[in-house]
Structure 1
Amino acid sequence: MKFDIYGRFQLEVRRENDAWEVYHLEPGKRAKVSELVIPPELDADEIATYLDDIFHELAGLGQNVESIS
Protein backbone atom coordinates (compact mmCIF):
# COMPACT_ATOMS: atom_id res chain seq x y z
CA MET A 1 0.00 0.00 0.00
CA LYS A 2 1.28 3.44 -0.87
CA PHE A 3 0.32 6.68 0.82
CA ASP A 4 0.79 10.35 -0.02
CA ILE A 5 1.50 12.26 3.19
CA TYR A 6 -0.07 15.70 2.59
CA GLY A 7 1.73 16.12 -0.73
CA ARG A 8 5.06 16.29 1.10
CA PHE A 9 6.34 12.71 0.69
CA GLN A 10 5.20 9.18 -0.02
CA LEU A 11 5.37 6.03 2.08
CA GLU A 12 4.91 2.39 1.20
CA VAL A 13 3.60 0.07 3.91
CA ARG A 14 4.00 -3.69 3.50
CA ARG A 15 3.07 -6.64 5.67
CA GLU A 16 6.19 -8.75 6.31
CA ASN A 17 6.48 -11.56 8.86
CA ASP A 18 3.39 -10.52 10.87
CA ALA A 19 4.61 -6.90 11.09
CA TRP A 20 4.11 -3.71 9.11
CA GLU A 21 7.27 -2.42 7.39
CA VAL A 22 7.42 1.22 6.26
CA TYR A 23 9.48 2.57 3.34
CA HIS A 24 10.06 6.17 2.23
CA LEU A 25 9.61 6.43 -1.54
CA GLU A 26 11.65 8.65 -3.82
CA PRO A 27 11.98 8.47 -7.59
CA GLY A 28 14.03 5.36 -8.34
CA LYS A 29 14.59 4.29 -4.75
CA ARG A 30 12.97 3.12 -1.55
CA ALA A 31 14.43 3.45 1.97
CA LYS A 32 13.23 1.63 5.07
CA VAL A 33 11.87 3.90 7.82
CA SER A 34 12.82 1.98 10.97
CA GLU A 35 11.85 4.79 13.38
CA LEU A 36 8.17 4.55 12.35
CA VAL A 37 6.52 1.50 13.90
CA ILE A 38 2.96 0.61 12.98
CA PRO A 39 1.29 -1.70 15.52
CA PRO A 40 1.07 -5.19 14.01
CA GLU A 41 -2.54 -5.63 15.14
CA LEU A 42 -3.78 -2.80 12.89
CA ASP A 43 -5.80 -3.88 9.86
CA ALA A 44 -4.80 -2.62 6.42
CA ASP A 45 -7.83 -0.30 6.29
CA GLU A 46 -6.65 1.45 9.48
CA ILE A 47 -3.17 2.39 8.21
CA ALA A 48 -4.11 5.73 6.59
CA THR A 49 -5.81 6.91 9.79
CA TYR A 50 -2.80 5.84 11.85
CA LEU A 51 -0.39 7.71 9.54
CA ASP A 52 -2.64 10.77 9.73
CA ASP A 53 -2.45 10.61 13.54
CA ILE A 54 1.36 10.39 13.41
CA PHE A 55 1.99 13.14 10.84
CA HIS A 56 -0.93 15.55 11.48
CA GLU A 57 1.46 18.40 12.36
CA LEU A 58 2.53 18.46 8.70
CA ALA A 59 -1.01 18.87 7.36
CA GLY A 60 -2.37 22.03 5.88
CA LEU A 61 -6.01 23.03 6.22
CA GLY A 62 -8.22 20.25 4.84
CA GLN A 63 -5.36 17.91 3.94
CA ASN A 64 -5.45 14.18 4.61
CA VAL A 65 -3.19 11.19 4.16
CA GLU A 66 -4.26 9.72 0.80
CA SER A 67 -3.95 6.15 -0.43
CA ILE A 68 -2.30 6.02 -3.87
CA SER A 69 -1.81 3.17 -6.32
Structure 2
Amino acid sequence: MEKYRFNVFGDILLIERRDLAWRCFAVGADGKLGPVDLAVPSEVSHEELPQYLYDIFHEGASLSDGDIFEIL
Protein backbone atom coordinates (compact mmCIF):
# COMPACT_ATOMS: atom_id res chain seq x y z
CA MET A 1 0.00 0.00 0.00
CA GLU A 2 1.28 3.46 -0.94
CA LYS A 3 0.51 6.50 1.25
CA TYR A 4 1.11 10.15 0.44
CA ARG A 5 0.39 13.35 2.36
CA PHE A 6 -0.37 16.61 0.62
CA ASN A 7 -0.92 20.15 1.82
CA VAL A 8 -3.87 21.23 -0.31
CA PHE A 9 -4.28 24.98 0.10
CA GLY A 10 -3.72 24.67 3.85
CA ASP A 11 -5.62 21.43 4.44
CA ILE A 12 -3.78 18.13 4.88
CA LEU A 13 -4.92 15.15 2.83
CA LEU A 14 -3.69 11.58 3.08
CA ILE A 15 -4.09 9.71 -0.18
CA GLU A 16 -3.44 6.01 -0.24
CA ARG A 17 -3.40 3.50 -3.03
CA ARG A 18 -4.67 0.05 -2.24
CA ASP A 19 -4.44 -2.32 -5.18
CA LEU A 20 -5.55 -0.07 -8.04
CA ALA A 21 -7.86 2.28 -6.12
CA TRP A 22 -7.06 5.62 -4.49
CA ARG A 23 -8.68 6.53 -1.14
CA CYS A 24 -8.59 10.02 0.35
CA PHE A 25 -8.69 11.17 3.96
CA ALA A 26 -8.58 14.55 5.68
CA VAL A 27 -6.00 14.70 8.44
CA GLY A 28 -7.24 16.61 11.49
CA ALA A 29 -5.10 18.72 13.84
CA ASP A 30 -5.16 15.76 16.23
CA GLY A 31 -3.90 13.41 13.49
CA LYS A 32 -7.21 11.60 13.12
CA LEU A 33 -8.34 10.66 9.63
CA GLY A 34 -11.74 11.40 8.16
CA PRO A 35 -12.91 10.18 4.76
CA VAL A 36 -13.00 12.70 1.92
CA ASP A 37 -15.55 12.36 -0.86
CA LEU A 38 -13.02 12.61 -3.66
CA ALA A 39 -12.80 10.17 -6.53
CA VAL A 40 -9.29 9.90 -7.93
CA PRO A 41 -9.20 7.82 -11.12
CA SER A 42 -7.05 4.72 -10.82
CA GLU A 43 -4.97 5.75 -13.85
CA VAL A 44 -3.69 8.88 -12.04
CA SER A 45 -0.10 8.24 -10.97
CA HIS A 46 1.60 9.44 -7.80
CA GLU A 47 3.46 12.04 -9.87
CA GLU A 48 0.18 13.35 -11.29
CA LEU A 49 -1.58 13.71 -7.93
CA PRO A 50 -0.55 17.35 -7.23
CA GLN A 51 -1.91 18.52 -10.58
CA TYR A 52 -5.09 16.47 -10.14
CA LEU A 53 -5.65 17.95 -6.67
CA TYR A 54 -5.01 21.45 -8.00
CA ASP A 55 -7.54 20.93 -10.79
CA ILE A 56 -10.19 19.83 -8.26
CA PHE A 57 -9.58 22.32 -5.43
CA HIS A 58 -8.17 25.53 -6.98
CA GLU A 59 -11.52 27.30 -7.41
CA GLY A 60 -12.25 27.06 -3.68
CA ALA A 61 -8.87 28.45 -2.64
CA SER A 62 -7.97 32.07 -2.02
CA LEU A 63 -4.66 33.67 -2.94
CA SER A 64 -3.55 33.52 0.70
CA ASP A 65 -4.13 29.75 0.96
CA GLY A 66 -0.84 28.90 -0.71
CA ASP A 67 -0.50 26.00 -3.10
CA ILE A 68 -0.43 22.21 -3.22
CA PHE A 69 2.67 20.29 -2.26
CA GLU A 70 3.57 16.85 -1.02
CA ILE A 71 4.62 16.51 2.61
CA LEU A 72 7.56 14.15 2.80
TM-score of the aligned structures, taking structure 1 as reference length: 0.85
Structure 2, unpaired ranges of 5+: none
Structure 1: which 5+ residue stretches go unaligned? none
1:17, 1:30 → 2: CA distance?
Answer: 20
Percent identity between the two aligned chains: 34
1: distance between equivalents of 2:18 and 2:34?
A: 15
Tell whether 2:64 aligns with 1:66: no
- Rounded to whole Å, the distance in 2 between the matches of 1:56 and 1:49 is 10
Spell out structure 1 runs of 4+ moving beyond 4 A. Answer: none
Q: Determine the structure 2 residue equivalent to 1:37.
A: 39
Q: CA deviation at 1:17?
A: 2.4
Q: Deviations over 1:6-65 (max 9, x none)?
A: 12x1101110121011010012300121x2000001111000100000000133338321
Counterpart residue identity of residue 16, structure 2: R
Q: Distance in 2 between matches of 1:41 and 1:6?
A: 24
TM superposition score normalised by structure 2: 0.82
Aligned residues: 67
Confirm whether residue 3 of structure 1 aligns to residue 6 of structure 2. yes
Number of the residue aligned with 1:23: 25
Number of the residue aligned with 1:48 = 50
